[in-house]
Amino acid sequence: MRTSALTAAWLVAMRDLRLAFRKPSQLLQPLMFFMIVATLFPLSLTPEMSRLRDAAPGVLWVGALLSSLLALEFLFREDAMDGTLEQFALSGQSLTWMLFAKTCTHWLITGVPLALIAPVAAAALGVPGEAMPGVVASLALGSFALSLVGAVGAGLTLGARRGGVLLSLLTLPLAVPILIFGARATELAITGGNLAPPLYLLGAIAVLGVTLAPLAAAAAVRIGLE
């Protein structure tokens, strides 16, 4: 009996989760980088909490963006090197669904932990406790959009000699709207404003990414495998 596309995607997601927990260093590297950026920044500025609080949205989101780019390098690279992506393409299953499953799994093991650890970094920057749910929500939604955008870049740089540098150059311009709306949502959460509008915009980017990014990533991967 032929396996359905959803079942194949689920199996791919479970496989990636098992492989990820066998290499905890790859899971911890983006988190450690994010925490280093967020905690070292106050040392270079001032201990005055009001100034740190004003800079917190930019610091948190730039750190999250750079950490996401660091993690994206591992999205397709190892599967391309050991022939797994080629087997996916030849399996007869939907490559789009399988790559979407890989992207969602990547977000679960990088973006979600990043959002959950963000309150620790935000507290070091003087962010009040009541703003933490907004910080977590904006980073969780924004990191999902970043993973979708990054999947396209990772597919386009598949097999490139300096794929990490090229991936950053391709992804950063597309990530600018996510950075702007995410930082604005974090700022409104800190100041007590209405953060719904920037969260809606982040959600719209994520929906657009779910619609287009898996298709674009699958086409890019097919080109890279030829």
Coil, strand or helix: which one is 91? coil
Q: Which residues contact 149 (CB under 8 A, 6 or more apart)?
A: 171, 174, 175, 178, 209, 213
| Average pLDDT for 163-170 | 74
* pLDDT over 70 at 86, yes or no: yes
Residue 162: other Cβ atoms inside 10 A: 9
The domain in which residue 85 lies consists of 5-225
**Helices (H), ranges, the chain:** 5-21, 24-44, 49-72, 77-81, 84-90, 95-106, 112-124, 132-156, 163-191, 196-225
Per-residue DSSP letter, 108? I
| Average pLDDT for 8-30 | 84
Kindly report the pTM of this predicted structure.
Answer: 0.89
- What is the pLDDT, as a whole number, of residue 162? 63
- Tokens of residue 13, six digits: 């997601």
How many residues are present in the chain? 226
- What is the pLDDT, as a whole number, of residue 204? 94
- What is the pLDDT, as a whole number, of residue 94? 84
Q: Number of folded domains in the chain?
A: 1
d(CA 188, CA 143): 18
* pLDDT-derived band at 105, boundaries 50, 70, 90: very high
CA 34, 38, 43, 44 torsion: positive or negative? positive
d(CA 120, CA 132): 9
pLDDT digits (tens, 9 = 90+) for 210-223: 999 999 988 888 88
